[in-house]
């Protein structure tokens, strides 16, 4: 009897309608390579994780060396050099006073950790009534239950509504679709007023507000004014509510600074990173906390401990990859590359803004988005699969978020390569899809 065939089940993929996945056999720099030698320019950093180019030799070497020395050890009751080194390196770059780091595996788990830390913080302080969470419209924080609860309603969450924890929802500063009908040139960030009302009326029951700082990713690459983030920080501090900054996408240079929070000169109480932490090599995430939060988990009863962990918490190989990625920030002109990307975005987007099929263009740091006018706007827009296929046929990996085409390249992309990506997008706009 022959062995039964086991089929791969890919994420966000509907086998009845989506094309078969492309086989990739190697990757170098910005290019993915298929077995028949086709080169595909990865213009979205393989789901926003890659920073310094695929298969960067320094990270590959660090991974190989670490795997041969210590592949893994449990992280409760034990520690290891790669994690200690990583904590020290991160301590030099994360906004202060975030002085404690709790490792997990992915963006979603970093968010779960932050939410649970916020709830238990108040519980340990004798305020179990502070248990509600506020999140933004258009938010996306991941696919596990807690992260999915704070994410906004979407096709990703529809089947799980009965399971999602009820949360409070406030406006996002989506200027292209202003939630309060104003325009950025003359507004005073009135979209914050709803949050202010929520915090005044229900702050005594609210544990934390969670935001994607300055850039909401999966919700449509929505760029917020810095004043909005600064306002969220001011209001949460004034009302005794914790602020969680989900920097899973924005961390490690994506918005032009190491962390988006720096652009608004704020420090959250809890901060989540993942994706770019290992330069795109391995899953590793971190949630940072202030002394104030950490100290609520110490002293007195053992039950004050944070009873949360994952088998592969702080995996040494992943930590070694992260250490190597952070060293590249020092050894290579990473922020010069980022500045060069920003320059091309600014120059090329200007031409798109006047196009009759474009509803909005926006960019921050290395991320640019072109929102197209369509009758069925949203993640399931019928234009999206056709555009996706067109781009792939032209040798460019772009995965539009519905009717929003965005570019989020590895930092090593050259201006010529980035201009080519723009040329392909421009060509797509003259086609009759
Ligand atoms: C802002 C943000 N938070 C959390 C996540 C979830 O991360 P992961 O897919 O690694 O679980 C994502 C993923 O896109 C994200 O963009």
Q: Which of 115, 135, 140 to mutate to test the pocket of ligand 1 (most atoms within 8 A of CB)?
A: 140
CA pair distance 244, 276, nearest whole angstrom = 19
Record the tokens describing residue 1, joined without a space: 């009897």
Separation of CA 108 and ligand 1 centre (Å): 6
| Geometric angle at alpha carbon 249, from 248 and 250, rounded to 5° | 100
Would you state the pLDDT for residue 324? 99
Q: Per residue of the chain (433 residues), give pLDDT as tens.
A: 677 899 999 999 999 999 999 999 999 999 999 999 999 999 999 999 999 999 999 999 999 999 999 999 999 999 999 999 999 999 999 999 999 999 999 999 999 999 999 999 999 999 999 999 999 999 999 999 999 999 999 999 999 999 999 999 999 999 999 999 999 999 999 999 999 999 999 999 999 999 999 999 999 999 999 999 999 999 999 999 999 999 999 999 999 999 999 999 999 999 999 999 999 999 999 999 999 999 999 988 999 999 999 999 999 999 999 999 999 999 999 999 999 999 999 999 999 999 999 999 999 999 999 999 999 999 999 999 999 999 999 999 999 999 999 999 999 999 999 999 999 999 999 887 6
Nearest to 195 by CA among 180, 177, 216, 215: 180
Would you state the pLDDT for residue 431? 85
Classify strands 31-33 and 26-28 as parallel, antiparallel or unpaired. Answer: antiparallel
CA pair distance 375, 372, nearest whole angstrom = 10
300 φ/ψ sector (left φ>0, alpha ψ -120 to 50, else beta): left
Separation of CA 42 and ligand 1 centre (Å): 19
Is the Cβ atom of 282 under 6 angstroms away from ligand 1? Answer: no
3-state secondary structure the chain: CCCCCCCCCCCCCCCCCCCCCCCCCEEEECEEECCCCCEEEECCHHHHCCCCCECCHHHHHHHHHHHHHCCCCCCCCCCCHHHHHHHHHHHHHCCCCEEEEEEECCHHHHHHHHHHHHHHHHHHCCCCCCCEEEEECCCCCCCCHHHHHHCCCCCCCHHHHHHCCCCEEECCCCHHHCCCCCCCCCCCCHHHHHHHHHHHHHHHHEEEEEECCCEECCCCCEECCHHHHHHHHHHHHHCCCEEEEECCCCCCCCCCCCCHHHHCCCCCCEEEECHHHHCCCCCCEEEEEEHHHHHCCCCCCHHHCCCCCCCCCCCHHHHHHHHHHHHHHHHCCHHHHHHHHHHHHHHHHHHHHCCCCEEEEEEECCEEEEEECCCCCCCCCCHHHHHHHHHHHCCEECCCECCEEEECCCCCCCHHHHHHHHHHHHHHHCCCC
Is the Cβ atom of 105 under 6 angstroms away from ligand 1? Answer: no
Are the C-beta atoms of 32 and 397 separated by less than 8 Å? yes
Record the tokens describing residue 279, joined without a space: 């330069």
Separation of CA 132 and ligand 1 centre (Å): 21
Is the Cβ atom of 249 under 6 angstroms away from ligand 1? Answer: yes
Would you state the pLDDT for residue 21? 96
Compute how many other C-beta atoms are within 10 angstroms of the C-beta atom of residue 309: 15
Indicate the length of the chain as a whole number. 433
Locus of tokens 């009534």: 129
Is the Cβ atom of 255 under 6 angstroms away from ligand 1? Answer: no
Q: Which of 47, 156, 245, 249 to mutate to test the pocket of ligand 1 (most atoms within 8 A of CB)?
A: 249
Separation of CA 113 and ligand 1 centre (Å): 13
Compute how many other C-beta atoms are within 10 angstroms of the C-beta atom of residue 385: 15
Is the Cβ atom of 283 under 6 angstroms away from ligand 1? Answer: no
Is the Cβ atom of 222 under 6 angstroms away from ligand 1? Answer: no
Would you state the pLDDT for residue 433? 66
Would you state the pLDDT for residue 1? 61
CA pair distance 15, 245, nearest whole angstrom = 35
């Amino acid at each position: 009897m022959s062995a039964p065939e086991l089929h791969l089940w890919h994420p966000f993929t509907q086998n009845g309608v989506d094309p078969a996945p492309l086989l990739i056999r190697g990757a170098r720099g910005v290019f993915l390579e298929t077995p028949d030698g086709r080169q595909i320019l990865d213009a979205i950093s393989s789901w926003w994780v890659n920073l310094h180019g695929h298969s960067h030799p320094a990270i590959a070497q660090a991974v190989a060396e670490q795997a041969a020395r210590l592949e893994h050890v449990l992280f409760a009751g034990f520690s290891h050099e790669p994690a200690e080194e990583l904590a020290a390196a991160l301590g030099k770059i994360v906004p202060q006073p975030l002085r404690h780091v709790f490792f997990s595996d992915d963006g979603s788990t970093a968010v779960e950790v932050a939410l649970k830390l916020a709830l238990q913080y108040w519980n340990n302080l004798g305020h179990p009534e502070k248990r509600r969470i506020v999140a933004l419209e258009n938010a996306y924080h991941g696919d596990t239950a807690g992260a999915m609860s704070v994410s906004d309603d979407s096709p990703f969450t529809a089947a799980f509504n009965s399971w999602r924890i009820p949360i409070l929802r406030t406006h996002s500063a989506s200027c292209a679709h202003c939630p309060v009908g104003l325009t950025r040139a003359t507004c005073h960030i009135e979209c914050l007023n709803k949050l202010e009302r929520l915090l005044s009326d229900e702050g005594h029951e609210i544990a934390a507000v969670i935001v994607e700082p300055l850039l909401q990713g999966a919700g449509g690459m929505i760029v917020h004014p810095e004043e909005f983030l600064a306002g969220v920080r001011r209001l949460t501090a004034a009302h005794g509510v914790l602020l969680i900054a989900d920097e899973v996408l924005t961390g490690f240079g994506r918005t032009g600074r190491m962390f988006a929070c720096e652009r608004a000169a704020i420090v959250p109480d809890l901060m989540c990173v993942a994706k770019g932490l290992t330069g795109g090599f391995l899953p590793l995430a971190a949630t940072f906390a202030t002394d104030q939060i950490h100290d609520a988990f110490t002293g007195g009863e053992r039950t004050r401990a944070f009873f949360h962990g994952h088998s592969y918490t702080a995996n040494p190989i992943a930590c070694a990859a992260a250490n190597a990625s952070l060293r590249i920030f020092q050894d290579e002109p990473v922020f010069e590359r980022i500045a060069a990307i920003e320059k091309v975005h600014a120059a090329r987007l200007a031409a798109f803004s006047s196009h009759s099929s474009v509803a909005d263009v926006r960019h921050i740091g290395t991320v640019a988005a072109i929102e197209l006018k369509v009758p069925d706007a949203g993640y399931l827009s019928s234009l999206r699969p056709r555009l996706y296929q067109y781009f792939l046929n032209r040798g460019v990996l772009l995965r539009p978020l519905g009717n929003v085409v965005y570019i989020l390249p590895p930092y090593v992309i050259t201006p010529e390569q980035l201009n080519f990506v723009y040329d392909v997008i421009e060509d797509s706009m003259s086609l009759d899809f």
